[in-house]
Amino acid sequence: MLNPWEEILLSDYENHMKLDSVMQIQNMNQMMKGQFEGYPVSSVAVLGIAGGNGLEHIDKNKYRKVYGIDINKEYLKAVYERYPNISDILECLQLNLLEETDKLPKAELLVANLLVEYIGYDCFQKAVKQVHPRFVSCIIQINAGDSWVSDSPYIHAFDDLNKVYHQMEEKELIQTLKGIGYKLTAQKENLLPNAKKLVQLDFQNRKDTNAPDE
C-alpha cells in the first residue's frame, strides 16, 4: 500500500503551505536558514525534504555534502531541478523511513521539519541512531485548534494523511532523543495563523559535549 505522501502533488502541498492563512513555507524557510547556519558541520541530512524549501541557504564554502531524503520521487526530482547550483554536493535518496531507516547516510547534522508527525517518535529515534549526527534540529507543529490541517482550497489533497499522522508533544520528543544520548540545547517557537505554532527543538549528542548523563 502506498504511503499517502507518495500521492500528494508537490504543487498542492506547496500552494497550501504558502497561503496567507497557513504561512508555513515562509516561516520554515527562515527557520531553516538558522538551522543550516547554526552549527559547525560540513554535512547535513534533511529528512522529508519535499521540494527543497530552504536549500538556497546552503553555503558551499561550508558544506561538502547535503543529503535530501523523501518518500516521493517527484519531490526529489524537483529538488534537483530547482537547485543546480549545489548539484555537486547534493544527493537525494528516495526512502520510506517507516521501513528503510537502515539505508540512511551518516551526517553531522540531521534536519527534520514537519517530518516526525508522519513517522512517529520510535521511527524517528531509529533514524537518528542510523544517521548518528552530532546535532539534530527538528521543527514540529503544535496545534491549539480542532484541526491539524488548516482549511484551504487544497485541503482534500491531504485527506489520507490521517492514516500516518501522529500528534506531537515537545516533552515526548525531548524524552525520545534523550533516550539515545541527545541533550536539548535550544527551543524556539514561531506562531502561525489558525491557532498553530512551529516549535524548533535543537539537540546535541552528549558524546560531542562531554556532558554528564542526567
Query: Which is more confident, 147 or 115?
Result: 115
Beta strand extents in 57-179 (DSSP E only): 65-70, 90-94, 109-113, 135-143
Contact 116, 89 (CB under 8 A): no
Q: How many Å apart are CA 186 and CA 137, to the nearest integer?
A: 9
* pLDDT tens readout for residues 131-153: 999 999 999 988 765 554 555 66
Decide which of 143 and 206 is more confident: 206
pLDDT for residue 136: 98
pLDDT at 212 (0 to 100) = 46
Q: How many CA atoms lie within 13 A of 115 on its CB side?
A: 30
1 confidence band (pLDDT: 50, 70, 90): low
Say which residue, 149 or 127, is predicted with more confidence.
Answer: 127
Helical packing angle, 24-37 and 10-17, nearest 10°: 90
Instruction: Dump pLDDT digits (tens) for 167-183.
Output: 889 999 999 999 999 99
**What are the backbone dihedrals phi and psi of residue 123, each rounded to the nearest 5 degrees, phi first?**
-65, -40
Supply the pLDDT for residue 61.
96
Where does residue 16 rank: exposed (0-12), middle (13-18), buried (19+ CB within 10 A)?
buried
Average pLDDT (25-40) is: 95
pLDDT at 200 over 80: yes
The DSSP code sequence of 71-134 is S-HHHHHHHHHH-GGGTTTEEEEE--HHHHGGGPPP-SEEEEES-HHHHHHHHHHHHHHHH--S
